[in-house]
Amino acid sequence: MSNTKTDNVKTILIIEDESDLLDLLQDKFITSGFKVIGAGSGEEGIRHALKNKPNLILLDIILPKMDGITMLKKLRQDRWGKGVPVIILSNLSDQNKISEAMKIGVYDFLVKSNIKLTDVVTQVRQVLD
């Protein structure tokens, strides 16, 4: 049986340790027509990523148990993980961390306090198209 309807629904994995922010993001993406998986730590994040293989990952840098950069490095070591698009969504403006992330390979680095939820969805749509 063809799954064309479900084929068009993209899955986003959001890794964010602030539960309020994770809630807001999840609600927004669901009402925008996405399927969403949430994770509250780098460890949980990589587990879900490798298990569910989402179309795109939204990743924060400051995370408990395993920070975003470490998780990203681990992700890129996996055959599938090497190619999945990642957007960093963080409130950290550390130049060094930004360069480090860019080197490992991310599509963009967005600062939460400077961007509207609607625009986050727009950015994600741009990358997936």
Query: Which residues in 3-62 contact another protein (CB under 8 A)?
Result: 18, 20-21, 24-25, 27-28, 62
Binding status of residue 118 toward another protein by CB under 8 A: yes
Among 3, 6, 8, 114, binds another protein (CB under 8 A): 114
Sheet holding 56-59, edge to edge: 35-39, 11-15, 56-59, 86-90, 108-111
Least distance in angstroms from the C-beta of 32 to another protein:
11
Token pair recorded at residue 48? 């879900």
Residues 6+ apart with CB under 8 A from 107: 85, 86, 87, 127
Residues that bind another protein (CB under 8 A): 18, 20-21, 24-25, 27-28, 62, 91-96, 111-114, 116-118
